[in-house]
Structure 1
Amino acid sequence: MSIEFLLCIGTIFMIAGIGMPIAYAILIASFVYLAAAGQDIGLAGKILLDGLYNSFILLAVPLFIVAANIMNAGTISDRLLGFCVALVGRFRGGLGHVNVVASLIFSGMSGSAVADAAGIGKIIIEMMTRSGHYTRGYAAAITAASATIGPIIPPSIPMVLYALVSNSSIGYLFLGGIVPGLLMGLVLMAMNYWLSLRRGFALEDPVPLAELPRRTVTAFPALMMPAILLYGIYGGVTTPTEAAAVAAFYALVLASMFYRALRLRALMEILIDSARSSAAVGLVIGGALILNYVVASENIPNLLAAQLVGLDVHPLVFIFAVNLLLLLLGCLLDATTIILVVIPLFIPTCRELGIDLVHFGVVAVVNCMIGLITPPYGILLFVINAVTRIPLGEIIHEIWLFLGVLLLALLAMILFPGLVLWLPRSFGYAG
């Protein structure tokens, strides 16, 4: 490991430590490495353009962001919530169950945990606190926990990024996330039910069963989006990137023409906001492409793989160690940075140890999503705090039990790879 590389790593920690966004820290540190190594800084531009030119799949990221923002701006989220209330609101902890089920459905449209929490999450928190049956902290905590499901059930922006760095099939990664996403929803609903019994949360007024068909019909066009996306990808009709474009177009047609809830001025604001969000992700991707060149120049992935293979590490021990590291990093770094910068270091070792890259990728993405609600960084906690003004201390006080059951679900995915690989294998995956 050269002095130039140590200087690069030190620059990242120093700049990030003074509060500068991690994307800028990575970019500046990469420039420092190129300058210290005597390489032309203009090389960074070539690396960036080559990386983007060879990564057509990255177009899916801004398209999924647009789709999610349109969903939040129209009345689509309200209609989905009305359907969920009629479906599960009658049970103990009803609105908590509604929260989780709404996240499961919305996750099939947005691919973003932040979009889930800031959009449909804000609405359900207001419903839970207005009912008087739940504390502000509890409503915010279960919302943050359920929002982590968003990028697990397809479509998924983090899985698109993982496919970029691992050359894995995005279609099989999407399939691999379905059962884990449902498992996460199940354990959250079980914890919500147990807490509702223990704390004596009052039952909600049930929506008459006769009302369920009407609400189902109202929400049906929105409920069709996940089915259209999955059929397009796995039926061979569209690529994942084209499916993202279909999602954005379908959301636009639903909100503007079918539900008539989206005006031209609102659409312009959505496009501007989506461009800003995409640019923020793009900065991290650009920095990661250059930093990955630095890491490859230092031959670090191969050195790491050689060291671990030389130690005769058992694959299960390796996966546990990597996941423990990712959990620790998740307390400090955002998921995009971990997926683009840290996870590529371990992919050569996975290949050497015979670890399936689809299984590893889904587990790693789930791990990164859990990091979104892990104090002290926990970006979802800050997002919900920002959109609801619920004190951060109240949210953190309630998040621990939900965090615990999600970790148990992660452990099950590690120990039983079939939870991840069953669906991909059913569709012809040979891994």
Structure 2
Amino acid sequence: MKEPASLRNRLIVAATAWIAFGMVLAWLILSNVFRAHVTQQFHDELFVHLSELKRLAHVENGRAVLRAALSDPRYDVENSGYYWEIQQQGDVLARSPSMKAAPLTTPPDGRSDVGVHTHRIQGPTGELLVAESLEWKNPGNPPIQFIIGTDKRHLESVVNSFNNTLSWSLTALGLSMVGAAALLILYAMRPLGRLSMALHEVRSGRLKSLPGSYPAEVQPLVDNLNSMFASTTDLVQRARTQAGNIAHGLKTPLAILTDEAYRLREGGCGTSAETILDQCRKMETQIDYQTTRARVVASRLSPGASAGAGDVVAEVVSAISRIYMHKNLHFDVDIPASLRVACEAQDLQEILGNLIDNAGKHANARVRVAATALEDGLIDITVSDDGPGLPVEAHEVVFNVGERWDTQSAGSGLGLAIARDLVTLYGGTIHLGTSVLGGLEASIRLPAAQ
């Protein structure tokens, strides 16, 4: 007769199967999300370069020349996988230095269609992701066709690299979770092992009752058993009754133990804490972001909020200067004491804290914070630094949740996104530009306090 399967083994097998399923599902979801994200980034980059190509191109008398080279030098490297062409009725008016093969051919677009189209075509070095647009210089002449493309292999290279890293990470995470789940199940099952040994002692006659204390989930069972052992009348009937009580009492503790085992399995896994943190950052980033928004929406409903701009800036600068003390930064603050903003002090601290911290992080030697009252009832506050600044195309990107233009520096990519949302919720505006100090300048406009 086949022996019944061990409850411990059942739990370990179930936990392993569930973890494996979760890891495979996580791999599929994360891989597809990343592919979609990278593909969109590639297309966004093509759109930017297409706009740049159209802006720089000068077409006249069947020829096209660029007033300046494209900002991306890869279009100048032969067979780099980054190509552009300007055509008219199939004739090539101009092409990138990287292009040495036959002209690019895209599916035909309607005469009235002036939008940007994306295609996948065969290029000189493989399949190309292409963005193209038509432009009519003269209604009586054929349209000028601007084509720009990137080899799909560049996209696949990024995705494959991510998938390899993701596979190793999830495998390591899954194995560590299986090991942790097995250890937790073994630990959780120890009281039942002790109970089994004690029952053996009682049955052998060496003990009259079950000794020791047990977890709260098992202790009622132990107490019932001891009561049964202490009974001296109607032993058989009581034994049958107690057997039924035992069977009934086991259901709840075993169900709790099973649930506890799953909860403990999903708990802290010390040996893979860093891997878990990596996989969880996007989520942490979104949680921090949404909780901040929820708090601000609640505080925004309170009327009559106001904060002194000078006082808030003084507190923030005092804290930030200590953080970046090693850089010996000079903070130049020019804010009239009378300026008050129609904003909760805590929210204004959050806005300026993110902006001044960002300036201090990238500044070389100076950070300037200035504020002026405008005639339209707004207060303009600018935070500028003398750091490397940002290219124009990055000015909107860095406001996206979780986006960081400089991936080498520490940060979650939430600061500017939170600052923008806070400013918007208070009816203000925020934008980035080039500072007179040579770095980045963040300018916010908020309503003045009445």
Query: Normalising TM by the smaller chain, what interval?
Result: under 0.3
Scaled by the length of structure 2, the TM-score of the pair is: 0.24
Question: Which has more helix, going by share of residues?
Answer: 1
Question: Which protein, 1 or 2, shows the higher relative CO under an 8 Å CA cutoff with sep ≥ 6?
Answer: 1
Higher strand proportion: 2
Larger radius of gyration: 2
Q: TM-score, normalised by structure 1?
A: 0.25
